[in-house]
């Protein structure tokens, strides 16, 4: 198992890396958001340990970029922030778990292993909604026997909706899922375009996407 730790506190990072190495885990270290981007550009990871406060910005920035790009690698946030709002924001942005500083090394490793096991199970699952079958592993879908041709962003939108079946997701949350910071010139109204495309693909089936004004969009089964 290969881990990326994004942490600028050298003493803390060194202790974590030594402990993980003793358990047979490989851990790469990035001391900033930019270094983490460089690591991810050349290496894939089973999990990411991500500090919130980094020298060149917030770890939440990297987290949003990962999720917007469709990267579902498990992320464990490290935070010294006591505010519940800060922890909730991290989870809402796509973090899988968080651990407050200071922490016990054994708990950190246990949480990492749990996240990786959960991720492995998720990749093997098949989600069914009426006649719609969705495979998270490769973001493919079919309506009955007919495969759906989905663009990357259509697939990302369907992934977000079907994982929260029955719940309304706001336009801003869906926007963060589909777009990264390089798409700053794209407005949130673009979500309406992709919603319309998915609805067209579902036409005549028992799968619907409903809208609640001011709240968001929800996927469900007709009837």
Instruction: Return residue ranges of the chain for CATH 1.10.10.10.
Output: 125-221
Count the residues in the chain: 223
Beta bridge partners of 2: 26
Q: Output 204 or 175, whichever has higher pLDDT.
A: 204
Outline which parts of the chain fall under CATH 3.40.50.2300.
2-123
Residues 33-53: tens digit of each pLDDT: 999 999 998 888 889 999 998
Q: How confident is the model at residue 123 (pLDDT cuts 50, 70, 90)?
A: low
Which fold, 125-221?
Arc Repressor Mutant, subunit A (1.10.10)
> 185-221: per-residue pLDDT in tens?
567 788 999 999 999 999 999 999 999 988 899 999 8
User: Is the CB of residue 102 less than 8 Å from the CB of residue 94?
Assistant: no
| 2-123: CATH class | alpha beta
- pTM of the full structure: 0.59
């Amino acid at each position: 198992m290969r881990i990326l730790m994004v942490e600028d506190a050298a003493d803390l990072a060194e202790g974590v890396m030594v402990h993980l190495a003793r358990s047979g885990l490989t851990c790469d270290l990035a001391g900033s958001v930019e270094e983490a981007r460089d690591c991810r550009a050349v290496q894939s990871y089973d999990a990411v340990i991500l500090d919130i406060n980094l020298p060149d910005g917030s770890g939440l920035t990297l987290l949003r970029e990962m999720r917007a790009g469709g990267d579902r690698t498990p992320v464990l946030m490290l935070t010294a922030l006591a505010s519940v709002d800060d922890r909730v924001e991290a989870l809402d942005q796509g973090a899988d778990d968080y651990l407050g500083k200071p922490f016990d090394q054994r708990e950190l490793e246990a949480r990492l292993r749990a996240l990786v096991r959960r991720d492995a199970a998720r990749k093997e699952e098949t989600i069914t909604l009426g006649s719609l079958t969705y495979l998270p592993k490769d973001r493919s879908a079919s309506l009955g026997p007919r495969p759906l041709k989905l663009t990357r962003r259509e697939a990302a939108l369907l992934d977000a909706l079907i994982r929260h079946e029955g719940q309304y997701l706001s336009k801003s949350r869906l926007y963060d899922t589909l777009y990264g910071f390089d798409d700053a010139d794209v407005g949130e109204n673009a979500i309406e375009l992709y919603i319309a495309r998915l609805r067209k693909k579902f036409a005549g089936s028992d799968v619907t996407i409903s809208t609640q004004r001011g709240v968001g969009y929800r996927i469900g089964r007709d009837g």
